[in-house]
Amino acid sequence: MKLQTVLELPECKVLVKGNPDREISKVFCCDLLSIAMGKAPADSVWVTVMGNKNTLAVATLADVACIVLAEGISLDDGTLAKAEEEGVCILATELPVFDIALVIYEASGA
């Protein structure tokens, strides 16, 4: 599945587009950055409610393709601008973590 498929989901609002052609490896859910740092797979879509500058730093360093902020969580403009620079896609949704992860998983046709 390419990132484009996730970008097109009606459940998500696109905050930063990233690279739509990027191939996605997995959907990963975790709110503890300490754990996400070591466990988030490269090129994954990472669903979390932890929305701060460090979330982006972890995503960038662990090669995550896309952060999905669940439960209506958002990021400040400075962090979004940084995400744009780093080429990390940021999406936001009102759905809970499990629900949106399932939507993305089903869209992947896995």
Partner 1 sequence: MEDQLIFTYIIDGDDFTRAGEASSSVKNKLKMLGVSSEAIRKTAIAMYEGEINMVIHANGGTITVTISDTDITMVLADQGPGIPDIDKAMQEGFSTAREEVRSLGFGAGMGLPNMKRFTDEMEIDTVVGQGTTITMKVNL
Applying CB under 8 A, which residues contact partner 1? 31-38, 42, 50, 52-55, 57-58, 60-63, 86
**17-20 long-range CB contacts below 8 Å, 24 or more apart?**
17/89, 18/65, 18/66, 18/83, 18/87, 18/88, 18/89, 18/90, 19/65, 19/87, 19/89
Is the Cβ of residue 76 or residue 106 nearer to partner 1 in the bound state?
76
Supply the minimum distance, in Å, between the C-beta of residue 48 and partner 1.
Answer: 8
Q: Which is nearer to partner 1, 49 or 102 (CB)?
A: 49
Residue 12 Cβ vs partner 1, minimum distance, rounded to whole Å? 22
